[in-house]
Structure 1
């Protein structure tokens, strides 16, 4: 056979990132997270190596596999594991560092039900695929992102939820789907628009909006006219329909198949793609409008398995969403303290859900009832003033391919020093959360992806909260009396005691986000652990000094208590990889592992 006759294996361009070097880095990063977060949650218990202050070992239950690594231990039992130092041995012999093998090695300690272990492994494998893709394609470093706009920053993020190990599962996406719809791909997406029969759907709009003004804001008049003419051509009355956007993947894989009879009856009529280019945000099923940033974000149902949930949207749940947002926004926007902090919410001003078809008549809740709904949310870009820039708060935990943190780059660019920068950030983020809980009994889900930082001269000046309708809670008073919440939004009322109420700060903000930021600041030499938490304590104490009228309520919450219940997120996903919690009763789903020492304690 001549050289010209040799066969060169064809490589799918979409899989070019699946090569040994990038995957080896991805494996080490994820195994470091396995060791760090499961130690934080007290699932694993590293032992120190004799004669070393920072080297540790973990051995599998049967003794056959061992891990050795270097790590720094910070406050809140946070472990910064150096991924490059991880060594794995099997029966005493060196072995590859492999994230799937790590899950299998440690499975008895993790407690994953045998029937769900393959599902979790698949989510881990998909997370590795995503990590390898980012390593191969992302070129922007932290100094570039200091000056970048919101869509660029969203696409540049390399890490999903900081605590969850399997945080980019996306089971259901193909390689082509990943390239087309994953936020890190940054590809333009045109939403699939449909007309849904008005009698089998609902559209709810918030204060200041009508159906007509919504379409005028989101759609071009001539496009609406074309759609109405299309419906007439099918023998239908356009006035009998509402317009509903869908994720293109959802249309192709679910709506056109699972709702085929509804499409055939023309209860759902495909209208084709919209004109505007959209970009997926970190939450993957929420899109910002890249063609016209003043237009709303659109959140759609997306029936893929990701991070412990099938990412649907319930039409029933969507119905009161605009009213919930109006009620919350009224309290936030009329509170002088919150306005002084610049704290605000991105209102979800409209929601639509398809309630027709046989699935909605079934007595037991199912994923099939959450396949077709959407909401419209105020755009963060439309809320910016001259000289301001927006960034997802998740970006404060970002490191580029060289290991440089974005927060270090922002501090350097600001020129004001780390202490002043962090004090301003904590005043914009932590103080409003405490005030909302104390004054209004309001709790949000304040993790990084759910907040938009507004920066001026590279310094955070205020934050905008999103995902209000699905995740806000209003707590009952200590006397058991209900907070004055209108009946149509009563689902947001939660009756738990102060010890659980305060976890909306201590678990969701302190352990869920600030723990990671504090470690980055210490590891990068910005401020030491004690300095960081001293700045956070000062924010809490300044708020209390400024609001003596809240003294009794603040004492009841006791944000600075010495210890707080240690709520464990990975344990939730390990227990049930298909649905971590019951969204209608999240408090009862929590898994605790003792208590954590509170770094906010005086």
Structure 2
């Protein structure tokens, strides 16, 4: 028997780190993940399955791995937008004619030359795949919440029940940097409450910016109790410095212990950066792992902090330069949204990022501005969506519409059934609440958002979407008109884009990256024809166009009814550079394209305009 001298805390962590890693669970998550790899890599034309025979709407396919004796077999339907609906139980792997177990990491190694994974990238990409599998295994072995449970669950219970991550990416839950103990403390699916640490940053190195009508004192008074502020100020006084020379900054505990305490050691030693301690409020991480919801006081701000872990193509830092421009951008977008009669009618709103704080480490800044070391210590405060609710309403992440629980039950059909509406009428209301305002922002205001499932909050009444809330404004909103002047304070939001690619702001972000999966859920779990879904989407677009004939020229320039659309490939981006997929200041410059696909809306062009 192995004996150790570790304390009880370490013993407990040692015993409970890997109970989810069992053969049956591991086999299941690998099968599901290989289904996803084949589907998304085939969608992006990285892999080309070969049709062997047809069985009605289904085909029997093989995927031979060149220069090996390995072949994969499966049944699939190819839905609109080249979406591969693969029957999970049908996937089989044969090596030299013998059936062998499915294994995602082996699959990645087998296809690395076919899909063009560079040897320098491969090991880290495999680690991201492995971490994604571990996360799925944890949920499947630990979580007991079913889709039936979520029909009437509250906002945060739904948030922490989500499994999939971004639907397009194969490696979508990397979180490289967390160990297993960190995982159980800080990932959204673990749903463990924790307190944020606070530090004081000297004003010589720290910038604090707010939206109009808000100042530093208001933020601190709303986020910290008088007792806590006094305790923090006493710490500074005892160090012989003035609290008025500092800004208080909330930070992730992991960030302090793993990055700041060492990399910022000179600043700590010279009292430029002072550790203050924990605040009393408890938070839970959201699907966006560096954003935290205040569960002690739900109407208080979200807090978003820099978190130097590698996750889905980026080190999740926050640059101080972005912190300076975020509040002005939020002011500008908020003024447009608030004063637009059409958006008001649709109930469309945003969560403003009301204040930001960023600390500059001068050593690393002088060594090179554009590095992850210059994104390690920044935070922002975002409005709570709880303040947007009216009587009888509740919140739900839009990611929930794609949720399938560990029993294979999809949430969306259950929500529709509980609402009392049929699927068609429910979808009409959803599209009116979600798609219509995004079309208006794009065509009328030249504003594009990143409206994927995690970034969009649905306001539901009787489980019917009635309004939507857009978040992550400062970092992910873009202005896509090169000819219109912008105020100097918001120049950063301008996205250089050619007229030919401008349409992708709608088509890629909404149709390919979200509706493609929503339609699949409806086909597989609700027996709802995909043609009917796309017809409803076309009806929504047509209605908007008929209501806004003054925008006819823009509708023609960015034609959502075009026969074909350029195919934007997200996994190709990650496979090319999994540490920095996109230059956020010029995202179209680094996009990866792979031909075109047929537009399912084109069949309804005759009724447009």
TM range (shorter): over 0.9
**How many angstroms does 1:404 deviate by?**
1.2
TM-score by structure 2 length? 0.95
Deviates more, 1:59-68 or 1:124-133: 59-68
Match of 1:37 in 2: 40
**How many angstroms does 1:368 deviate by?**
0.3
Q: Deviations over 1:364-409 (max 9, x none)?
A: 5111000000111111112111111111111110001121111111
Q: Judging changes above 3 Å, is the alpha-carbon distance between structure 1 residues 46 and 310 closer, same or farther for their aligned structure 2 residues?
A: same
For residue 399 of structure 1, give the secondary structure of its aligned residue in structure 2: coil
Q: Which aligned pairs between 1:429-448 and structure 2 lie closer than 5 A?
A: 429-448=434-453
Q: Deviations over 1:12-43 (max 9, x none)?
A: 31211011111111101110000100011111
Q: Deviations over 1:129-178 (max 9, x none)?
A: 00000001111111211111111111101111001001010111000000
Q: For the Cα contact (< 8 Å) 1:296–1:379, is it kept in 2?
A: yes
Q: For the Cα contact (< 8 Å) 2:207–2:359, is it kept in 1?
A: yes
1:118 and 2:120 matched: no
- For residues 389 and 367 of structure 2, what CA distance do their matches in structure 1 show? 45
Within the candidate set 450, 466, 473, 2:471 is matched to 466
Match of 1:338 in 2: 343
Q: Judging changes above 3 Å, is the alpha-carbon distance between structure 1 residues 409 and 206 closer, same or farther for their aligned structure 2 residues?
A: same
Q: For the Cα contact (< 8 Å) 1:259–1:357, is it kept in 2?
A: no
Q: Judging changes above 3 Å, is the alpha-carbon distance between structure 1 residues 27 and 364 closer, same or farther for their aligned structure 2 residues?
A: same
For residue 391 of structure 1, give the secondary structure of its aligned residue in structure 2: strand
Q: Which aligned pairs between 1:522-561 and structure 2 lie closer than 5 A?
A: 522-561=523-562
Match of 1:19 in 2: 22
- For residues 464 and 339 of structure 2, what CA distance do their matches in structure 1 show? 25
Match of 1:359 in 2: 364
Q: Which aligned pairs between 1:269-308 and structure 2 lie closer than 5 A?
A: 269-308=274-313
**How many angstroms does 1:529 deviate by?**
0.3
**How many angstroms does 1:83 deviate by?**
2.1
Q: Which aligned pairs between 1:172-187 and structure 2 lie closer than 5 A?
A: 172-187=177-192
Match of 1:5 in 2: none
Which portions of structure 1, spanning 4 or more consecutive aligned residues, are displaced by more than 6 angstroms?
Answer: none
- For residues 247 and 485 of structure 1, what CA distance do their matches in structure 2 show? 35
Q: Judging changes above 3 Å, is the alpha-carbon distance between structure 1 residues 149 and 247 closer, same or farther for their aligned structure 2 residues?
A: same
Q: For the Cα contact (< 8 Å) 2:361–2:374, is it kept in 1?
A: no
TM-score by structure 1 length? 0.96
- For residues 54 and 556 of structure 1, what CA distance do their matches in structure 2 show? 37
- For residues 193 and 306 of structure 1, what CA distance do their matches in structure 2 show? 24
Deviates more, 1:31-40 or 1:52-61: 52-61
1:133 and 2:138 matched: yes
Match of 1:313 in 2: 318
Match of 1:4 in 2: none
For residue 50 of structure 1, give the secondary structure of its aligned residue in structure 2: strand
1:403 and 2:408 matched: yes
Match of 2:7 in 1: none
Q: Deviations over 1:209-246 (max 9, x none)?
A: 11111111111112111111111111111111100011
Within the candidate set 356, 370, 382, 1:377 is matched to 382
For residue 199 of structure 1, give the secondary structure of its aligned residue in structure 2: coil
Q: Deviations over 1:527-558 (max 9, x none)?
A: 21000000000000000111112112222211
Aligned residues: 590
Match of 2:499 in 1: 498
Q: For the Cα contact (< 8 Å) 1:32–1:81, is it kept in 2?
A: yes
Match of 1:167 in 2: 172
Within the candidate set 391, 411, 423, 2:396 is matched to 391
Q: For the Cα contact (< 8 Å) 1:31–1:83, is it kept in 2?
A: no
Q: For the Cα contact (< 8 Å) 1:247–1:302, is it kept in 2?
A: yes
- For residues 298 and 217 of structure 1, what CA distance do their matches in structure 2 show? 12
**How many angstroms does 1:54 deviate by?**
2.5
**How many angstroms does 1:91 deviate by?**
2.1
Q: For the Cα contact (< 8 Å) 2:496–2:586, is it kept in 1?
A: no
- For residues 54 and 580 of structure 2, what CA distance do their matches in structure 1 show? 44
For residue 512 of structure 2, give the secondary structure of its aligned residue in structure 1: helix
Q: For the Cα contact (< 8 Å) 2:495–2:587, is it kept in 1?
A: no
- For residues 361 and 108 of structure 2, what CA distance do their matches in structure 1 show? 42
- For residues 463 and 25 of structure 2, what CA distance do their matches in structure 1 show? 32
For residue 189 of structure 2, give the secondary structure of its aligned residue in structure 1: helix
Q: For the Cα contact (< 8 Å) 2:32–2:88, is it kept in 1?
A: yes
Deviates more, 1:249-258 or 1:46-55: 46-55
1:329 and 2:330 matched: no
Q: Judging changes above 3 Å, is the alpha-carbon distance between structure 1 residues 429 and 203 closer, same or farther for their aligned structure 2 residues?
A: same
Runs of at least 5 residues in structure 2 that lack an aligned partner in the other structure = 2-12, 605-609
- For residues 186 and 25 of structure 1, what CA distance do their matches in structure 2 show? 23
**How many angstroms does 1:495 deviate by?**
3.0
For residue 216 of structure 1, give the secondary structure of its aligned residue in structure 2: helix
Q: For the Cα contact (< 8 Å) 1:155–1:185, is it kept in 2?
A: yes
